[in-house]
Amino acid sequence: MPVCWLVSEDDSHKPIQLHHHQTVTLGRGPKTKIKDKKCSRDQVELKADCNRGFISVKQLGVNATNVDNVVVGKGNQVTLKPGQRLYMVNQLYPYTVKFTEETSTPRPVGEESKSLKRPNQMSEDPAKKVSTTSHTDHHRITDGSPPPKKTPEACSDKSESAGHWSQGLKASMQDPQMQLYKDDRVVVIKDKYPKARYHWLVLPWESISSLKVLRSEHCDLLKHMQCVGDRMVQQCPDAHKLRFRLGYHAIPSMSHVHLHVISQEFDSPCLKNKKHWNSFTTDYFIESEDVVAMLEHHGKVTVKEGMSELLKLPLRCHVCRKEQSTIPKLKEHLKSHIS
């Protein structure tokens, strides 16, 4: 997967590596070589998202930290992307962020990653149970059995009715042929109708019907679900060349809470209509971190009114935002963004 580096523009010290989803505090001190006392020792808190290619910047110090010309403000948080500058304090000490490719497996991040090695988990590494061939045969468990053929009926909207999905999802959780990973809190399964080359679902064993019933006591569970999803991405053989997003549908058709882990090339025969596309490329798709933040700050998840209308929006490329008239034209256009 990509590796994140914070690079000093005045070349005063070596680039600082920021590990995926690991919080790092920087300011005045030997690591940055900054001696300016207007810069706090704990001036900024940084957290890299290597999959999505940005850093979250939170100002901790009293004096201003800037991202380009925008003052972050003490206690506030903004996003730093490649091409932007982070000024550590008072428009001084500029930094840029760079993402490079690394073929070696990243080390696990935090205690949640260790939970993936619990004694009662499946004996095999989840990544070893996933193989990719053509875009019609994704994520099958390598048990020697031939992959099921996807037919137009298998990818149809009728197969995705609420009742079918609700019952099918619960059955899939218990099906060893669908399971890619499991521990005592969650299970990861292949999405039966993947909307991209890689499309997995992380589900809790605990019966939770929807986002609406989540409360603050579920925070640890959702953080663990996100950690498991991140680990699946790290172990994906194409993680170094694909972007992934982790999130929830605002109004899911299934009755059991599930976290989508989906690659962003959207190369799948099951992505067939506007509803499919907009459910993953508009605000209808709520980032995992945003759901956790809502629970931490408000004790519940609030879904804005009118979310269903987002599914009717025009087809727009999620990379360049260019509008396309049909799904086939959109898919053809997407090829230009795949390296």
pLDDT tens figures, 27-84 = 999 999 999 999 999 999 999 988 888 999 999 999 999 998 788 999 999 999 888 8
pLDDT digits (tens, 9 = 90+) for 105-135: 333 333 443 444 433 344 344 444 443 333 3
How far, in whole angstroms, is CA 338 from its chain's centroid?
A: 18
Question: In this structure, what token pair is assigned to residue 273?
Answer: 């209509």
Report the alpha-carbon distance of residue 60 to residue 302 in Å, rounded. 28
Q: Considering the chain, what percentage of its residues have pLDDT values greater than 70?
A: 79
89 closest CA partner among 17, 138, 16, 26: 26
From residue 212, alpha-carbon distances to 115, 184, 219, 311, 314 in Å are 27, 24, 14, 20, 28
Q: Where are the domains of the chain?
A: 2-101, 114-337
**Going by C-beta distance under 8 Å and a sequence separation of 6 or more, which residues neighbour residue 293?**
none
Q: Which residue has the higher pLDDT, 197 or 153?
A: 197
Topology annotation, domain 2-101? Tumour Suppressor Smad4 (2.60.200)
Q: pLDDT tens digits, residue range 244-292?
A: 999 999 998 777 899 999 999 999 999 999 999 999 999 999 999 999 9
Structure tokens at 162: 């609420």
Q: Tens digits of per-residue pLDDT, 64-78?
A: 999 987 889 999 999
Give the per-residue pLDDT at 162.
Answer: 39
Question: Coil, helix or strand for 69?
Answer: coil
Q: Are 180 and 141 in contact (CB under 8 A)?
A: yes
Residues 6+ apart with CB under 8 A from 213: none
What CATH number does the domain located at 114-337 have?
3.30.428.10
> Which residues are within 8 A (CB) of 230 and not within 5 positions of it... i.e. 6 or more apart?
20, 21, 51, 109, 246
Residue 157 pLDDT greater than 50, yes or no: no
* Separation CA 47–CA 33 (nearest Å): 20
Yes or no: say if 200 and 229 are a contact pair by the CB < 8 Å rule: yes
**Rounded Cα distance, 130 and 148, in Å:** 15
Residues with catalytic roles: 258
Contacts of 117 (CB under 8 A, 6+ apart): none
- In which band, very low, low, confident or very high, does the pLDDT at 167 lie, cut at 50, 70 and 90? low
Distance, in Å, from the CA atom of 301 to the CA atom of 248, rounded to the nearest integer, reads 11
Neighbours of 183 (CB within 10 A): 18
- Residue 128, number of CB atoms within 10 A of its CB: 11
Residues 206, 256: Cα–Cα separation, whole Å: 9
